């Protein structure tokens, strides 16, 4: 079976599509999609076409056409539809997140429950977003990082920090509040803090946050090469994650550790709030400041759920 992954320039979208392809367990080809300024046009105008797709990408998309295309995000949707049309309908196209106009032309749309769209026969609903984590990756990260963190007493409380988004800031007061609440949680449990920032974490907010934390701890501000993020996920006995990142929340909920989400009033928009509500109701996580009442039956893994549906509908 030939599988193409249309890898959007937005890393988060590309990783979702790659996670599904990896979960399929089949060989696949990655087709990086580069854009021109016409990619900003509404999909209603782009239709089933290569409008907005750079020449470098067009050269890579030639017959024989694949049996399956997996993509994520609005900008890849017209290109997926174009490939299906060029294959005379033989290529199955799977889109993660709603593609907009032409949705009925997709063979499968994996639609997060926190996205407000009506149901349709070619859609499945998923909790959260697909990711690329596997138990094997976490076990390898645990082996790599355990010796480096062995000097810190357990239990380990991991804090995964996002930051500002295009709609909301991550100011010093919010960062200090996060620091106070996490420090209080660690004081109750004992042990050490494993704190990882991201490139979206403002320097001033990082300083305000870490000023509230006492040792023992390990701090990584999100810059530099030796990123401990996977190691923290793998070794954590409990996790606190800021609610601004869908991907971080979903990866934390795959780890198997209890997950606390920091999302005070006004910190996130309605879509993220719907995701958090879904995670709380299904016992994948709880709000920071509350204790989890139960544990989910299995780790959160939308990628494997989508892969299973692809196989069920199209191949087995």
Domains of the chain from N-terminus onward: 3-131+303-315 (3.40.50), 135-287 (3.40.50.2000)
How confident is the model at residue 316, as a pLDDT? 62
Residue 239 pairs in a beta bridge with 158, 259
Token pair 């989508």 is at which residue? 306
How confident is the model at residue 187, as a pLDDT? 94
Pairing of strands 108-112, 123-126: parallel
How confident is the model at residue 115, as a pLDDT? 84
What span, in angstroms and rounded, lies between the C-alpha atoms of 233 and 158? 7
Q: How far apart are the first and last CA of the chain?
A: 12
Residue 215 pairs in a beta bridge with none
> What is this structure's pTM?
0.92
How confident is the model at residue 165, as a pLDDT? 79
Residues in the chain where the model's pLDDT stays below 70? 296-297, 316
Token pair 């403002």 is at which residue? 202
How confident is the model at residue 164, as a pLDDT? 79
Closest C-alpha to 179, from 217, 223, 230, 235: 217
285, exposed or middle or buried, with CB in 10 Å at 0-12, 13-18, 19+?
buried
Q: What is the pLDDT of residues 289-303, one digit of tens each?
A: 998 777 766 899 999
Q: Is the peptide bond before 216 cis (omega within 30 degrees of 0)?
A: yes
Q: What is the pLDDT of residues 193-241, one digit of tens each?
A: 999 999 899 999 999 999 999 999 999 998 888 899 999 999 999 999 9
How confident is the model at residue 110, as a pLDDT? 97
């Amino acid at each position: 079976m030939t599988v193409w992954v249309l890898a959007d320039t937005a890393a988060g979208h590309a990783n979702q599509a790659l996670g599904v392809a990896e979960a399929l367990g089949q060989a696949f080809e990655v087709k990086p999609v580069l854009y021109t300024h016409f990619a900003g046009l509404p999909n209603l105008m782009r239709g089933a076409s290569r409008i907005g797709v750079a020449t470098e990408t067009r050269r890579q998309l030639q017959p024989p056409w694949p049996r399956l295309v997996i993509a994520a995000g609005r900008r890849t949707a017209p290109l997926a539809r174009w490939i299906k049309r060029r294959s005379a309908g033989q290529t199955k196209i799977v889109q993660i997140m709603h593609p907009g106009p032409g949705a009925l032309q997709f063979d499968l749309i994996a639609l997060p429950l926190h996205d407000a769209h009506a149901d349709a026969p070619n859609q499945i609903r998923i909790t959260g977003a697909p990711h690329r984590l596997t138990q094997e990756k976490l076990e390898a990260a645990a082996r790599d990082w355990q010796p480096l963190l062995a000097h810190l007493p357990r239990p380990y409380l991991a804090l995964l920090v996002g930051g500002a988004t295009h709609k909301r800031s991550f100011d010093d007061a919010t960062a200090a509040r996060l620091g106070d609440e996490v420090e209080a949680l660690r004081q109750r449990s004992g042990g050490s803090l494993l704190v990882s920032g991201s490139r979206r974490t403002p320097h001033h907010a990082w300083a305000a946050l870490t000023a509230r934390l006492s040792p023992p701890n390990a701090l990584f501000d999100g810059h530099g090469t030796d990123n401990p993020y996977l190691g923290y996920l793998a070794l954590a006995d409990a996790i606190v994650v800021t609610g601004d990142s869908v991907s971080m929340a979903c990866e934390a909920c795959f780890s198997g550790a209890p997950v606390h989400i920091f999302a005070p009033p006004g910190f996130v928009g309605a879509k993220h709030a719907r995701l958090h509500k879904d995670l709380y109701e299904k016992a994948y996580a709880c709000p920071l400041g509350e204790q989890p009442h139960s544990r989910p039956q299995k780790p959160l893994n939308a990628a494997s759920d989508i892969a299973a549906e692809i196989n069920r509908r199209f191949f087995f």
